[in-house]
Structure 1
Amino acid sequence: MKEIYKGKTKDVYALENGNYLLKFKDDVTGEDGVFDPGANTVGLTMEGAGKAGLKMTKFFFEKLKENDMPTHFINANIEEQTMTVKPAEVFGEGLEVICRYRAVGSFLRRYRKYAKEGQTLDAFVEVTLKDDERGDPPINEDALHMLGILTKDEYNILKQLTVKISDVVKEALAEKGVELYDIKLEFGRDKNNRILLIDEISGGNMRAYKDGEYLEPLELEKIIVP
């Protein structure tokens, strides 16, 4: 097993069979000790966050498989906080795709002149470049195509998959009385150039509320996968 990358919330290892192993950490993104799924720095460490995040990720990847959604997931070992995945190439140096159902976070900060806090959004899809130095700037379809990061056809597939996957997560949360406000996803290409969901689906990359109250990642994960 060879270490490939040490990330903010996960470390990545290459396996001898060509697959990869993701090791989940207890670190979560945020600023000044406050969790923020959209932040590009580690804000705090929550004991148990890695295991809880992996349990929820396994739950959702298995649910997506039932719905014939393409993902890199193979299996997970909850006790060891590891997940085995298929190899996938990221777009450029990495993209984050956010699906928004409510106006909060960076969307609200940018568009406050027009948007009201918590305003309903119709599964608004937003793409940002993974670029810590420049604060993960948003980028649109035309720029992605012109810069050679995505073709227009790939962008359309990415957008459709984002909404379908996010709706599966939203419905699963709703069954537990939880409302999904937004979720951040990542995608890549497999060896056949098929676009598939990569990374994770956990409380650490979404905002969810119950009875109007925000749920911290560990609280959310206890509700969804007790």
Structure 2
Amino acid sequence: MKNTIIKTDFKFPGQKSVYHGKVREVYTLENDTLLMVATDRLSAFDVVMPKGIPYKGQILNQIATKMMRDTEDLVPNWLTATPDPNVAIGEACEPFKVEMVIRGYLSGHAAREYKTGKRALCGVAMPDGMKENDKFPAPIITPATKAEMGDHDEDISREEILKRGIVSEKDYLQLEDYTRKLFQRGSEIAANRGLILVDTKYEFGKTKNGKIVLIDEIHTPDSSRYFYAEGYEERQKNNEPQKQLSKEFVRQWLIQNGFQGLEGQKLPVMSDEYIETVSERYIELYENITGQKFEKADVSDIEKRILDNVSKYFASVKS
């Protein structure tokens, strides 16, 4: 698609390195500063789709920024500034090699595992007699090991994380505490918007002075699943699919077209018309999650816009 940003190759002042993630490009600058560009890439089943989704990067960046501001009283985060709709700047830190996934409902990956007969996920028991999209008695934390681009994240238990020394017990207990607090706040924010925060994942890092901070995105439709609260109970009672606000609709489209990221499966082609509907759906997600009207940024020359805005920001910091 035209007017999308798929990959960047900026040379920012003081730049030391760049890492290309599944969706974000992370530039390490001098003075322990990170600059993160949210691209319009779309990832599903840990596979990056070949075409970008218009405005997706802006949407993710702006939701994450708002949610970090709305939770910074609970959990410290890495964010310092967002000088451009697609750019976040903050403190560099060492990421933990686990993603903290928390689930309030039996949905998505957990539901798919449950249907195969499994009654435990990441060493955490799931009650018998549940059906898809039922609420768990209490939210469960089901961590995943972080994968490099193109590789699958893998479920892992708390016990295995500690046994393998991936995270120290002291730090892991802090990660769990932060995860539960963030999910509780996120659920409250969602409820105020007429939504249910079904499940989500958080990523954390440690600064040079040893402080654990929230990094990456938070409560976005890429990292979270939302249901509309209105009609939830009735749909469950009637065994009907829930009305969702997440990129699950993309996963379902891929599944219907014979793709789940498994070996030997061919990635289906997304037409420009379908991509346009995905973009419109992301805008709907933004407006429902934030309660604000989405304002489209100028996409006539996204790279130039980013460079100009970042340059102005650094000039203002120096002056």
In the alignment, what sits opposite 1:215? 245
* Change in 2 beyond 3 A, CA 1:111/1:216: closer
- Which one has a bigger Cα radius of gyration? 2
Which residue is 2:102 aligned to?
99
> Contact 1:208/1:220 (CA < 8 Å) preserved in 2?
no
Structure 1 residues 111 and 87: CA distance shift in structure 2, 3 A: same
| Residue of 205, 208, 211 corresponding to 2:223 | 205
1:127 equivalent in alignment to 2:143: yes
2:214 matches 1:192: no
**Alpha-carbon distance between aligned partners in 2 of 1:41 and 1:182, rounded to the nearest angstrom:** 20
Deviation at 1:216, TM superposition (A): 4.1
User: Paired residue for 1:116?
Assistant: 131
Instruction: Give deviations 1:92-116, integer Å, cap 9, x for gaps.
Output: xx21111111111111111223441
- Can you list the C-alpha shifts for 1:15-41, whole angstroms capped at 9, x where unaligned? 2332100000111221xxxxxxxx312
Do the aligned partners of 1:102 and 1:119 also contact (CA within 8 Å) in 2? Answer: yes
Counterpart for residue 311 of structure 2: none
Aligned-partner SS, 1:204: coil
Name the counterpart of 1:76.
82
Q: Deviations over 1:75-100 (max 9, x none)?
A: 11243x10001111022xx2111111
Counterpart check, 1:52 vs 2:59: yes
- Checking the alignment, whether the CA contact within 8 Å between 2:28 and 2:92 is kept in structure 1 is no
Specify the code of the residue in structure 2 equivalent to 1:169.
G
Distance 2:20 2:92 in 1: 17
1:169 and 2:176 matched: no
TM-score (norm 1): 0.87
- Aligned position for 1:42: 48
CA offsets per residue over residues 163-193 of structure 1, 9 Å max, x none? 1011111111111101111111111111122
Q: CA deviation at 1:194?
A: 2.1
- Any stretches of 5+ residues in structure 1 without a counterpart? 31-38
Amino acid at match of 2:244: Y
Counting aligned pairs with the same residue, the percent is 24
The code of the aligned residue for 2:135 comes to T
Kindly state the Cα deviation for residue 156 of structure 1 after the two structures are TM-superposed: 1.1
Count, aligned residues: 214
Alignment correspondent of 2:155: 138
| Partners of 2:178 and 2:206 in 1: CA distance | 13
Q: Give me the whole-angstrom Cα distance separating, in 1, the residues matched to 2:101 and 2:204.
A: 11
Gaps of 5+ in 2: 1-11, 118-127, 231-241, 248-281, 294-319
Q: In structure 2, what is the equivalent of residue 9 of structure 1? A: 23
**CA–CA separation in structure 2 for the residues paired with 1:23 and 1:135:** 22
- What SS does the aligned partner of 1:110 have? helix
- Which letter does structure 2 place at the counterpart of 1:221? Y
- The structure with more strand, counted as a fraction of residues: 1
Provide Cα deviations, 1:33-92, integer angstroms capped at 9, x if missing partner.
xxxxxx312246321111011111110111112x2311111111243x10001111022x
1:216 and 1:145, CA in 2 relative to 1: closer, same or farther beyond 3 A? closer
Separation in structure 1 between the aligned mates of residue 34 and residue 151 of structure 2, nearest angstrom: 29
Q: Which residue number corresponds to residue 125 of structure 2?
A: none
